[in-house]
Amino acid sequence: MKGLPKVLVLGPPLCFSSLQPLYSHKFHFLNSHLSDLSLQHFLQLHHPPSITAILCDAAGYSVTAEVLHLLPSLRLLVTISAGTNHIDLRECRRRGIQVAGAGAIFSEDVADMAVGLLIDGMRKISAADRWLRTQNHHNAPWHLFPLGSKLSGKQVGIIGLGSIGMEVAKRLESFGCIISYNSKHKKTTVSYPFCSSVVELATTCDVLVLCCELNEQTKHIINREVILALGKGGFIVNIGRGGLIDEKELVKCLMEGEIGGAGLDVFENEPRVPQELFEMNNVVLSPHAAALTAESFMNMCELAGGNLEAFFSNKPLITPVMLPE
């Protein structure tokens, strides 16, 4: 370990058990999760000025300005998540700390999950499975199971037309869906109609799919006004971040029948999920698992290791994150 660059591991990231044996001969990983000490006391045992890199993900520690302050020589932060709302990017920019993310490595898997949640919810696949397992013992007539909704031809509004949003659009086009979108900026490279207002988008659509990042501007971008604009037959899919939706209002609107249903991979206060959602047959739930495929996580191990290698070899990062001004 002597002489190897020190990398503080926070969380740990889900792929770390696969990454560590591949790169332990190149980096000295400091596994704070194996210690009962607070992070501050753990770092005191490892000479904080000697630590120049962090490896983390969105499910572990929030890398706040206070955490960064504990590491005066930090120059690199590698996260294995597509989102970066767990990192104080402004402080990283102020300190000159480079940040590497997942890039588009999870985009296809997350898009697959978005479409899966949508099909499941609209065609009531999980609800049908539960119904059959319970009602078949009572010889209930199958025609009593409620009708689902057709996906083909639906107007789908995508909020956030980045790499994931584009993959969702591509998949839903093959189902004959009509795509429009809302994004921070209008995309000159796509022909989909652009709506500058999320309320306007909801008014014209049957489905909203949330693919944008969570920040100060997008927190609760889906509020009661948007949900009511979407309407009683509308369906919401969230594979972005839980805080994009005002969760209390969503639950209330679902209970009141103001919206048709939802497919949720993320929640506002993870790992807590509103108890009311468990009782709803028009809601499909997933434990923030959209990116969790064996293939993507092996690719993420290689990417995270590659970013560490690039930095310590004085080469450009493979997937740098743009830091705010």
Report the percentage of the chain scoring pLDDT > 70.
99
> Is position 94 annotated as part of the catalytic site?
no
Q: Which of 93, 224, 288, 302 is catalytic?
A: 288
Q: What is the mean pLDDT of residues 67-91?
A: 95
Cis link prior to 271 (omega < 30° from 0)? yes
From CA 255, how far away is CA 202, in angstroms rounded? 19
From CA 164, how far away is CA 208, in angstroms rounded? 14
Inter-residue contact 318 to 100 (CB < 8 Å):
yes
> Is position 288 annotated as part of the catalytic site?
yes
From CA 104, how far away is CA 244, in angstroms rounded? 20
| Tokens, residue 273 | 């999920």
State phi, psi for 228 to the nearest 5 degrees: -65, -35
- Looking at domain 6-104+294-313, its CATH class is alpha beta
Residue from 266, 243, 299 nearest 108 by CA: 299
Strand, helix or coil at 69?
A: helix
How far out from the chain centre does Cα 49 lie? 32
For residue 316, the model assigns a pLDDT of: 98
From CA 240, how far away is CA 154, in angstroms rounded? 21
Q: What is the mean pLDDT of residues 253-274?
A: 97
| Domain extent listing, the chain | 6-104+294-313, 106-285
Inter-residue contact 204 to 155 (CB < 8 Å):
yes
Q: Which of 241, 247, 249, 268 is catalytic?
A: 241
From CA 239, how far away is CA 203, in angstroms rounded? 21
On average, the pLDDT of the chain sits at: 95
Helix H or strand E encompassing 209: strand 207-210
| Tokens, residue 19 | 């990454």
Looking up tokens 């949640």 gives: 117
Assign a CATH topology to domain 106-285: Rossmann fold (3.40.50)
6-104+294-313 and 106-285: same fold?
A: yes
Strand, helix or coil at 29?
A: strand
For residue 61, the model assigns a pLDDT of: 78
| Tokens, residue 216 | 């100060």
> Is position 47 annotated as part of the catalytic site?
no
pLDDT in tens, 270-293: 999 999 999 999 999 999 999 999
From CA 19, how far away is CA 14, in angstroms rounded? 10
For residue 60, the model assigns a pLDDT of: 66
pLDDT in tens, 87-123: 999 999 999 999 999 999 999 999 999 999 999 999 9
Q: Which of 213, 270, 302, 309 is catalytic?
A: 270
DSSP code at position 49: G
